[in-house]
């Protein structure tokens, strides 16, 4: 069963044709990782799913068409988005960041889940979010998404620009979140991807060139051919 289905998605931005008939499935209760070299359309794909860009084709969530809907309605339908630059409110406290994100009237259970996943956020609830480490800020960004009932969580390059120690911290966060959510993740760190991916999609030049199991990631020649890298981090 698939939570999300993308079919023949074409997207143009400022007259540039970025996505050329992208098609893939995101299975329910699994972590799907979207891979590819820089500039092939991975982030554009996530942002198109969220309705930030107009496109043609089809994007369906649990069988319901969401392509063409306004972004806030897509979010209300159950699509949560964690952007690559996190976009937390740096001048507000951790608690205030979470409070602003919650749409649920009775959110006690959601807060209980978030604090069980990220106990550090509970202890730092009164701390100004801008003073947190990059890894802790990423926790806040993901926690905000988890406060609402979501069908799928879109996460865009959560370890981008982080020091190796913080990459490990975020990797642990993602593995904990993966136990509770269907996730579509854009990530360049292959060592992290190998730990978490249950389904893999590879893009090249705005098209999907591979969709299947993560076992291919153990084939060094295939990884080099598809991603242009030979090791754990691209």
pLDDT digits (tens, 9 = 90+) for 65-87: 999 999 999 999 999 999 887 78
Q: Read out DSSP for 68-96? A: TS-HHHHHHHTEEEE-TT----TTSBHHH
pLDDT band at residue 138 under the 50/70/90 scheme:
confident
Helix (H) or strand (E) holding 175: helix 164-178
The structure tokens listed for 105 are: 């009237």
- Predicted pLDDT at 74: 97
* pLDDT bracket for residue 164 (50, 70, 90): confident
pLDDT above 80 for 105: no
What is the H or E stretch that residue 162 is in?
none
Give the span between the Cα atoms of 140 and 82, in whole angstroms. Answer: 10
Q: pTM here?
A: 0.88
12-44 pLDDT tens trace: 999 899 999 999 999 999 999 999 999 999 999
Rounded Cα gap, residues 197 and 32, in angstroms: 6
- Residue ranges and CATH numbers for the domains of the chain are 2-227 (3.40.50.300)
Residue 132 vs residues 118, 121, 129, 141: alpha-carbon distances, Å: 14, 10, 5, 12
Q: Are 3 and 26 contacting, i.e. CB atoms less than 8 angstroms apart?
A: yes
């Amino acid at each position: 069963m698939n939570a999300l289905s993308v079919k023949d998605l074409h997207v143009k931005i400022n007259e540039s044709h970025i996505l050329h008939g992208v098609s893939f499935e995101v299975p329910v209760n699994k972590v799907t990782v979207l891979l590819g070299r820089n500039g092939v359309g991975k982030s554009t794909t996530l942002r198109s799913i969220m309705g930030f860009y107009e496109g043609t084709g089809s994007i369906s969530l649990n069988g319901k068409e969401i392509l063409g809907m306004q972004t806030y309605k897509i979010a209300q339908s159950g699509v949560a988005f964690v952007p690559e630059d996190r976009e937390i409110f740096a001048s507000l406290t951790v608690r205030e960041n979470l409070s602003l994100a919650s749409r649920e009237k009775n959110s006690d259970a959601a807060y209980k889940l978030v604090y069980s996943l990220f106990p550090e956020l509970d202890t730092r609830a009164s701390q100004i979010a801008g003073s947190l480490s990059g890894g802790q800020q990423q926790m806040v960004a993901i926690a905000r998404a988890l406060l609402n009932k979501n069908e799928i969580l879109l996460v865009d390059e959560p370890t981008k620009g982080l020091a190796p120690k913080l990459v490990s911290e975020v990797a642990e966060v993602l593995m904990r979140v993966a136990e509770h959510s269907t996730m579509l993740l854009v990530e360049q760190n292959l060592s992290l991807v190998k730990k978490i991916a249950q389904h893999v999609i590879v893009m090249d030049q705005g098209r999907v060139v591979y969709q299947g199991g993560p076992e291919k990631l153990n084939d060094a020649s295939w990884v080099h051919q598809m991603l242009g890298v030979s090791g754990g981090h691209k």
